[in-house]
Structure 1
Amino acid sequence: MDPVRNPFAPGAGAQPPELAGRDELRRDVEIALERIRRGRPAKSVMLVGLRGVGKTVLLDRLRDDAEADGIYTLRVEAPEDRSLPALLAPPLRLALLRLSRTERAREAAVRGLRALAGFVGKLKVTFHDIEVGLDFEPEPGLADNGDLELDLLALIEQAGLAARAAGTALGLFIDELQYVPEPQLAALVTALHRASQRQLPVMLVAAGLPQLRAQLGQAKSYAERMFDFATIGPLPPEAARQAIVRPIEGEGERIDDDAVERIVELTEGYAYFLQTWGSHAWDAAQCSPITLADVDKATVTARAELDDGFFRVRFDRCTPKERRYLRAMAELGAGPHRSGDIADCLGEKVTSLAPVRSALIRKGMVWSPAHGDTAFTVPMFDQFMRRIMPGQDWR
């Protein structure tokens, strides 16, 4: 099979050729954005799920849908070492500049840019990583208190007023929201709450790991009532099959039914793994149709690629103690597991392992689906841990 025509896209956040099984959610977000544009109430949306389920891909597609509908958007990713003000300031500036080109929104957008100047000027003392060009002088008393919660509220409010004046809405699309520190997350929730109370057309669509739900609740007690949480999991079997079959057929080629079933079984329907197996199966096949033997051959190279990239990059971020903890979890299976069972596997006390567990949660390696439970945030990571740390020497 011609590798140049390989239709699959197993990259981080790369758009797949077939976004299967997400149409209903895309429609729900489209309706919510249109409601807030018309001044009607609608909840912001949180996409929560494990690594590799396609949250980033879906977030970008939702943003593309919004832009196509005339919604003004900004898109940021929240890494572990950047502040929320530093992330939001540059794209908010660009959104306000775009809005200022609309005659009826110019006055409100310029005031928003003045609010941004005050916001940056005062908060740069606290958040040293804020770097953004300023187009207007600040307006005294507007978003310049030096208090993140008050100033972000005022800034988002002004941006919402500008969007309303332009007859549009402002969509904030934020990936990896779980990395935003709790006080900054609380400030964002407060700003969105105020915008909702004033029926301003501002909406957040964010993606994050499963612990995001609890983090929002801890940041603000009313947060869970403000958001619709969409759990993004593995694709159901039929959608998983479509994600494999349709790209291949789109290239005028075929794949045998038993080969498709094997890919769905091996990947458990996880979007990233489907793209990886599909790509390797295409390259392994000499001609159409792709057969079960081709998939079996591809499985060796697909797993090697995942081990060297998708899994390994996360493993390398962990300390030796954290790796032992993860290996003990893998010894118990896919999980989730009780903290006591993990401690027993390591021959240690739960209390002595608490700092290790907390560090792994902060790194996004594990999460707690229930009190005292621990689960991997990466699908099939237990299998990888058994491959990379075989035998019993890890003990």
Structure 2
Amino acid sequence: MDAIRNPFAPGAGTPPPELAGRDDLRTSIQVALERARIGRPAKSAMLVGLRGVGKTVLLDRIRGDAEAAGIHTVRIEAPEGRSLPALLAPQLRQALLRLSQVAAARDLAVRGLRALAGFASKLKVTFGDIEVGMDYAPEPGLADNGDLEHDLQALFEQVGLAAKAAGTALAVFIDELQYVEEAQLAALITAMHRTEQRQLPVVLVGAGLPQLRGRLGNAKSYAERLFDFPTIGPLAPQAARRAIEKPLADEGVRIAPEALEQILAVTQGYAYFLQQWGSHTWRAASVSPITADDVATASTTAVAALDESFFRVRFDRLTPKEKKYLRAMAEIGPGPHRSGDIAACYGAIVTSLAPVRSALITKGMVWSPNHGDTAFTVPMFDEFMKRTMPGDAWR
């Protein structure tokens, strides 16, 4: 096989050659955006799922769909340690500058830029990381109270009014939303609630780990009525097959049925793992059709690559206590697990491990599907923990 022609794309947010199994969701969000554009009620969406299911890829593809339809978009990623106002302000400035080029929206877009100037200048005292260009002087009394919840609401209203005047909509895409602090999430929810009440064409499409749903609900009790929460999970078998078969067929390569089933079994349909196994299987094969022996050979290198990148980068962020907690989870299986069972395996009482569990949730390593349950946010991480901390020495 020609290594240069390898069609598969394992990477962080790297678009796969075939985005299979996500058409219905893309269509539903396209409908919401078009409804917003014409002033009809439209629910924003929060894409939730484990690591490696393709949330970032899907978020970017939906954004591409929106831009192709003439919807204005902004996109941010919410890393740990950055404030939401600091991330939003430069992107909203760019959106308002673009809207100001539309004659019908110019005055409202300029007023939005004045609101942004007041927003940034007053909130910089609270959020020192805000850095944004000032194109116009602030308008006194507009988004300048110094209170995030009130000011973000006023700012989003101005952006929505400008988008409405321009005959378009603004779609705000935010990845890794689970890292945003609760008070800032509450302000974002309030701002979106206000734009919905005023039927302004602003739609939020967020993505995050499964705990995002609970964090939004804690921030504002009405969040679950304001947003749809589509779960992004492993691909269904038919879609997973297509994700492997079509890129191969496009290169004139076939795969034996038993080889394909082997890939589906080992990857469990997770989008990132499908790309890893596809890529390594291509490298392992010498001729078409690809055989089960090729997949078996590729599995060794694929697991090693995952261990040194996808898994290792998360493992290296952990403290010794956190590693031991996850190793105890792995010892009793993929999960989810009751806190008491983990504590028994760890060799400690439940209450003493509460801070460790809380830190792991904050780092996005585990989540709680139900009260008292704990599950990995990274598929197959239990197997990795056993490989990297073998035997009983971890106890």
Separation in structure 2 between the aligned mates of residue 175 and residue 198 of structure 1, nearest angstrom: 26
Alignment-derived partner of residue 214 in structure 1: 214
Alignment-derived partner of residue 353 in structure 1: 353
Question: 5 Å matches for 1:194-233?
Answer: 194-233=194-233
Alignment-derived partner of residue 82 in structure 1: 82
- 1:42 is displaced (CA, Å) by 1.1
2:251 is equivalent to residue 251 of structure 1:
yes
Separation in structure 2 between the aligned mates of residue 385 and residue 236 of structure 1, nearest angstrom: 27
Separation in structure 1 between the aligned mates of residue 154 and residue 60 of structure 2, nearest angstrom: 27
2:394 is equivalent to residue 394 of structure 1:
yes
SS at the partner of 1:231?
coil
SS at the partner of 1:118?
helix
- For residues 254-285 of structure 1, the C-alpha deviation after alignment (integer angstroms, 9 at most, x for no partner) is 11111110000000000000000000000111
Alignment-derived partner of residue 293 in structure 2: 293
Alignment-derived partner of residue 93 in structure 2: 93
Separation in structure 2 between the aligned mates of residue 42 and residue 273 of structure 1, nearest angstrom: 34
2:131 is equivalent to residue 122 of structure 1:
no
2:139 is equivalent to residue 139 of structure 1:
yes
Alignment-derived partner of residue 384 in structure 2: 384
Separation in structure 1 between the aligned mates of residue 241 and residue 227 of structure 2, nearest angstrom: 31
- For residues 199-223 of structure 1, the C-alpha deviation after alignment (integer angstroms, 9 at most, x for no partner) is 0000000000000000010000111
Structure 1 counterpart of 2:45, one-letter code: V
SS at the partner of 1:195?
helix
Separation in structure 2 between the aligned mates of residue 28 and residue 48 of structure 1, nearest angstrom: 16
- 1:132 is displaced (CA, Å) by 1.0
Separation in structure 1 between the aligned mates of residue 141 and residue 59 of structure 2, nearest angstrom: 35
- For residues 69-127 of structure 1, the C-alpha deviation after alignment (integer angstroms, 9 at most, x for no partner) is 00000000000110000000011000000000000000000000000000000000110
Separation in structure 1 between the aligned mates of residue 40 and residue 276 of structure 2, nearest angstrom: 42
Alignment-derived partner of residue 66 in structure 1: 66
Alignment-derived partner of residue 103 in structure 1: 103
Separation in structure 2 between the aligned mates of residue 185 and residue 93 of structure 1, nearest angstrom: 20
- In the alignment, structure 1 segments of 5+ residues that lack a partner are none
Alignment-derived partner of residue 13 in structure 2: 13
- 1:228 is displaced (CA, Å) by 0.6
Separation in structure 2 between the aligned mates of residue 252 and residue 115 of structure 1, nearest angstrom: 56
- 1:289 is displaced (CA, Å) by 1.2
- 1:253 is displaced (CA, Å) by 1.3
Structure 1 counterpart of 2:262, one-letter code: R
2:322 is equivalent to residue 322 of structure 1:
yes
Separation in structure 2 between the aligned mates of residue 349 and residue 319 of structure 1, nearest angstrom: 19
SS at the partner of 1:14?
coil
- In the alignment, structure 2 segments of 5+ residues that lack a partner are none
Alignment-derived partner of residue 262 in structure 2: 262
- 1:347 is displaced (CA, Å) by 1.4
- For residues 273-313 of structure 1, the C-alpha deviation after alignment (integer angstroms, 9 at most, x for no partner) is 00000000001111111111100000000000000000000
Total equivalences in the alignment: 395
SS at the partner of 2:98?
helix
- Normalising by structure 1, we get a TM-score of 1.00
Alignment-derived partner of residue 152 in structure 1: 152
Structure 1 counterpart of 2:329, one-letter code: M
- 1:252 is displaced (CA, Å) by 1.3
- 1:33 is displaced (CA, Å) by 0.4
SS at the partner of 1:230?
coil
Question: 5 Å matches for 1:360-371?
Answer: 360-371=360-371
SS at the partner of 2:229?
strand
Structure 1 counterpart of 2:325, one-letter code: Y
Separation in structure 1 between the aligned mates of residue 230 and residue 23 of structure 2, nearest angstrom: 13
SS at the partner of 2:131?
coil
Alignment-derived partner of residue 35 in structure 1: 35
Alignment-derived partner of residue 25 in structure 2: 25
Structure 1 counterpart of 2:227, one-letter code: F
Separation in structure 2 between the aligned mates of residue 103 and residue 255 of structure 1, nearest angstrom: 56
Structure 1 counterpart of 2:339, one-letter code: S
State the 4+ residue runs in structure 1 displaced beyond 2 angstroms: none
Separation in structure 1 between the aligned mates of residue 180 and residue 197 of structure 2, nearest angstrom: 24
Over the matched positions of the two proteins, sequence identity in percent amounts to 74
Separation in structure 2 between the aligned mates of residue 76 and residue 133 of structure 1, nearest angstrom: 17
- 1:246 is displaced (CA, Å) by 0.2
Separation in structure 2 between the aligned mates of residue 332 and residue 109 of structure 1, nearest angstrom: 57
Structure 2 counterpart of 1:255, one-letter code: I
Separation in structure 1 between the aligned mates of residue 291 and residue 38 of structure 2, nearest angstrom: 52
SS at the partner of 1:96?
helix
Separation in structure 2 between the aligned mates of residue 151 and residue 287 of structure 1, nearest angstrom: 62
Alignment-derived partner of residue 161 in structure 2: 161
SS at the partner of 1:172?
strand
